[in-house]
């Protein structure tokens, strides 16, 4: 414990230190049985602590905005993985790094050590704004109108610990693409931003309401052009609408895309407009210097590097090296199978980067790394150094660079393997279709379940884990095959189409059939998604159907990849978002806590934050009383309506005005000191009256 306290004393940010102390306190109360397990789950998820498939250990998700990580930070994460986890760093499709097999009791100390190098786990999981992703090329992209890096960073800073997005119905995802090429996939995000310059002004095309998961949805266009100082106020208004109107009971319908589908874009935008005067700021000027300038490498000695395999170097150069917009510099991609890098390898990798490139890396959305600002005379030296570590494999972002989530290795939701099958498919490509390493059109993406953490829903060839039964009812591990998805440009994309389900062990043969078919029947230069559309779904179903035939199963079909025993279906509650606890006493406690936070925000002159904390207390308090009548509203707006119906209109609880209107003054007033004080007092009085009402046996309380 003394060591932990010492770590906190070294932190320069008292808010972070208090947050970590609060986590340590909540863990202790949970161990003592004083915090409900569901409530505690919500709390730890919002701090990046995710329960694993294996009992008693946690996955820690480290939040790296826009995938940016310095070599110093990478070494810090590697050291922490050695000390607290399994000595492996897993890069994700959200540009995070995950470490696994961590003891819950050690997470506060781990977090404190991360923060020494300005690394956080806050809001990396749970019902929050997740990691803000961005094109890895941002800042060096020859096609970008301007660098979106500071915009993504400022978005991250603004919403971190922001009360408006701490306990939403579900997670919320935001991306920034560097150009119309849309390499950050704006079309699958709750909000996606594509940079534009119109009449000399910077701004963004804004995509809204996209998402993958079991029900993939393409985003709609909210704005063709929104000026740069409006993107944060607009995002805050959207989050306020989502928080108030979003589903909270039916988890599978709680994403923003379902709210957009229910209400329609016009209604959503009208509700957003209603929130505008209440948001914290009406314009937000982005600090274009919020990120430090990259530390560029020294000139490399002119001695020639010795290339022992010129053919491999040529393939690597053609597939993994790109020219930056800065004259005389190159970006170099590192292809990383499954996104995994041991902690020892990470330290050696960081040393190489420091020698030959800028000290800042970017994690890519397909689980690799981008090295930036490499001088041309350093390329061969860099290649030789990377090759010694097996980090110079050609084919970055090609057919041979398969994206896969951790699946059954650690995730509770995973159904069948997604990692070992990825390695098996890459072996097929490497040994039987070596020239496919130059094909960057077809993307192969694999998830362990339908939820699409491996982004199979936007792949040319997508696979996700499932099960299938033979005629005797025995269960086999299976893959659902999806085809024809892909990224287009400027916010447009294609969701892949489900074809059929096959036993997992037949995945490599399915790949051979698809490659051979494409080679035989595609037109010159035809993209795979265009080929799929031209030929039609039935063709692909027909050629793959024999693989789904279970009359010819063999013993190995019952064994999943990477296992030695027959398949056993593992089922558990997933933790992609927290579970909201609906115990009356807990909700009253939370209301008191939120009112204390409101007072703190008021003292610090953070009036918008104080108002929103008071609003959240209103909602929690009303919800608690509704539960005593077994009324369980699924949205915040329904809480207001139900309280009016069941308590005010029945005369059980007297209010001077309509309860909904009383609470929703929050979006009818600017966030001034005067209104913040009055609204806080009203919320406090409401809590006191409700608790008194319950304490005296549900007699009428006059307000």
Domain boundaries along the sequence of the chain: 2-115, 133-278, 310-388, 403-558, 584-695
H or E element in which residue 83 lies = helix 71-84
Q: For position 520, what pLDDT does the model report?
A: 96
- CB contact at 8 A, 405 and 98: no
Radius of gyration of the chain, Cα coordinates, nearest whole angstrom: 26
Average pLDDT, the chain: 93
Report d(CA 320, CA 398) in Å as an integer: 10
Mean pLDDT of 117-134: 96
Residue with the larger pLDDT of the pair 300 and 155: 155
Pick the CATH number of 403-558 from 3.90.25.10, 3.90.420.10, 3.30.413.10, 3.20.10.10: 3.30.413.10
Domain spanning 310-388, CATH architecture: 2-Layer Sandwich (3.30)
In DSSP notation, 394-454 reads: S-TTSTTS-EE--GGGT-SS--S-SSHHHHHHHHHHHHH-GGGGG--S--EEEESSTT-TT
Among the ranges given (85-94, 139-148, 399-408), the one the predictor scored with the smallest mean pLDDT: 399-408
Q: How many Cβ atoms are within 10 Å of 450's Cβ, its own excluded?
A: 19
Report d(CA 562, CA 566) in Å as an integer: 11
Examine the pLDDT at 46 and tell me if it is beyond 90. Answer: yes
Q: For position 582, what pLDDT does the model report?
A: 40
Task: Give 637-667 as a 3 state SS string.
Answer: HHHHHHHHHHHHCCCCECCCCCHHHHHHHHH
Report d(CA 525, CA 512) in Å as an integer: 20
Q: For position 388, what pLDDT does the model report?
A: 97
Mean pLDDT of 180-208: 98
Q: For position 2, what pLDDT does the model report?
A: 53
Q: How far is CA 131 from the centre of its chain?
A: 5
pLDDT tens sequence across 584-630: 777 888 899 999 999 999 999 999 999 999 999 999 999 999 998 89
Report d(CA 195, CA 605) in Å as an integer: 33
The token duo for 413 is: 């939701």
Mean pLDDT of 481-489: 96
Q: For position 567, what pLDDT does the model report?
A: 78
| pLDDT tier at 575, thresholds 50, 70, 90 | low
Give the single-character DSSP code of 628.
T
- CB contact at 8 A, 291 and 68: yes
Q: For position 3, what pLDDT does the model report?
A: 63
Q: For position 571, what pLDDT does the model report?
A: 53
Examine the pLDDT at 578 and tell me if it is beyond 70. Answer: no
Examine the pLDDT at 645 and tell me if it is beyond 90. Answer: yes
Task: Give 249-284 as a 3 state SS string.
Answer: CCHHHCCHHHHHHHHCHHHHHHHHHHHHHHCCCCCC
In sign, the C-alpha dihedral spanning 539, 540, 546, 550 is: negative
pLDDT tens sequence across 263-280: 999 999 999 999 999 999
In the chain, % of residues over pLDDT 90: 82
Class (C level, CATH) for 2-115:
alpha beta
Mean pLDDT of 33-60: 89
| pLDDT tier at 299, thresholds 50, 70, 90 | confident
Q: For position 695, what pLDDT does the model report?
A: 79
Examine the pLDDT at 367 and tell me if it is beyond 90. Answer: yes
Examine the pLDDT at 701 and tell me if it is beyond 50. Answer: no
Q: Does CATH place domain 133-278 in 3.40.50.300?
A: no
Q: For position 354, what pLDDT does the model report?
A: 96
Q: Does CATH place domain 584-695 in 1.20.120.330?
A: yes
The answer, as to whether pTM is greater than 0.75, is yes
Q: For position 703, what pLDDT does the model report?
A: 43
Domains 133-278 and 403-558 share a fold: yes
| pLDDT tier at 10, thresholds 50, 70, 90 | confident
- CB contact at 8 A, 456 and 463: yes
């Amino acid at each position: 414990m003394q060591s932990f306290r010492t770590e906190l004393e070294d932190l320069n940010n008292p808010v972070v230190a208090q947050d970590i102390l609060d986590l340590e306190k909540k863990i202790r109360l949970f161990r003592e049985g004083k915090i409900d397990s569901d409530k505690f789950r919500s709390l730890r998820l919002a701090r990046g602590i995710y329960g694993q498939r294996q009992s008693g250990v946690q996955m820690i998700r480290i939040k790296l905005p826009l995938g940016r990580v310095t070599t110093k930070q990478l070494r810090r994460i590697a050291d922490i993985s050695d000390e607290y986890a399994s000595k492996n760093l897993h890069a994700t499709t959200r540009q995070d790094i995950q470490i696994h097999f961590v003891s819950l009791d050690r997470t506060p100390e781990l977090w404190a050590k991360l923060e020494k190098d300005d690394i956080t786990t806050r809001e990396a999981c749970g019902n929050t704004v997740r990691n803000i992703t961005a094109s890895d090329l941002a800042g060096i992209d020859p096609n970008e109108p301007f660098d979106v890096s500071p915009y993504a960073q400022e978005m991250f800073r603004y919403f971190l610990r922001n009360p408006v997005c701490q306990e939403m119905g579900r997670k919320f995802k935001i991306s920034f693409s560097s150009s119309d090429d849309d390499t950050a996939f704006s079309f699958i995000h709750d909000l996606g931003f594509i940079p534009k310059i119109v009449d000399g002004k910077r701004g963004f095309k804004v995509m809204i309401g996209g998402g993958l998961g079991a029900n993939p949805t393409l985003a709609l266009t909210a704005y063709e052009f929104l000026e740069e100082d409006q993107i944060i106020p607009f995002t805050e208004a959207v989050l306020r609408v989502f928080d108030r109107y979003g589903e909270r009971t039916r988890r599978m319908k709680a994403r923003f895309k379902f709210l957009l589908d229910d209400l329609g874009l016009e209604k959503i935008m009208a509700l957003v407009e209603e929130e505008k005067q209440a948001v914290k700021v009406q314009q937000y000027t982005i600090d274009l210097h919020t990120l430090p300038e990259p530390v560029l490498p020294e000139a490399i000695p002119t001695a020639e590097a010795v290339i022992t395999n010129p053919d491999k170097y040529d393939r690597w150069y053609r597939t993994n090296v790109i020219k930056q917009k800065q004259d005389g510099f190159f970006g170099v991609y590192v292809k990383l199978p499954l996104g995994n890098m041991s902690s020892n390898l990470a330290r050696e990798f960081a040393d190489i980067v420091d020698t030959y490139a800028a000290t800042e890396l970017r994690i890519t959305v397909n689980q690799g790394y981008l090295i930036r600002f490499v001088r041309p005379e350093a390329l061969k030296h860099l290649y030789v150094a990377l090759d010694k570590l097996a980090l110079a494999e050609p084919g970055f972002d090609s057919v041979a660079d398969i994206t896969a989530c951790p699946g059954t290795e650690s995730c509770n939701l995973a159904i069948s393997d997604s990692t070992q099958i990825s390695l098996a498919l890459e072996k097929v490509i490497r040994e039987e279709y070596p020239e496919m390493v130059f094909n960057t059109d077809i993307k192969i993406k694999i998830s362990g379940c339908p939820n699409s953490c491996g982004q199979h829903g936007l792949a040319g060839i997508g696979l996700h884990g499932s099960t299938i039964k033979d005629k005797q009812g025995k269960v086999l591990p299976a893959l659902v095959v999806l085809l024809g998805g892909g990224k287009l440009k400027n916010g447009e994309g294609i969701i892949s189409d489900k074809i059929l389900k096959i036993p997992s062990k037949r995945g490599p043969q399915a790949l051979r059939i698809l490659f051979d078919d494409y080679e035989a029947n595609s037109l010159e230069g035809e993209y795979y998604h265009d080929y799929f559309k031209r030929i039609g779904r039935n063709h692909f179903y027909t050629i793959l159907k024999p693989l789904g035939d279970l009359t010819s199963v063999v013993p190995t079909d019952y064994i999943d990849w990477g296992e030695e025993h027959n398949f056993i279906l593992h089922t558990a509650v997933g933790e992609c978002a927290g579970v909201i606890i609906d115990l009356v006493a807990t909700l009253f406690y939370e209301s008191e806590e939120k009112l204390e936070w409101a007072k703190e925000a008021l003292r610090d002159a953070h009036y918008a934050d104080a108002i929103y904390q008071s609003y959240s207390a209103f909602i929690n308090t009303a919800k608690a009383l509704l539960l005593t009548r077994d009324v369980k509203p699924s949205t915040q707006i329904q809480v207001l309506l139900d309280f009016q119906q069941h308590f005010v209109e029945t005369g059980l609880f007297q209010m001077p005005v309509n309860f909904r209107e009383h609470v929703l003054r929050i979006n009818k007033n600017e966030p001034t000191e005067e209104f913040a004080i009055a609204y806080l007092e009203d919320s406090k009085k409401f809590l006191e009256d409700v608790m008194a009402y319950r304490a005296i046996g549900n007699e009428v309380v006059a307000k």
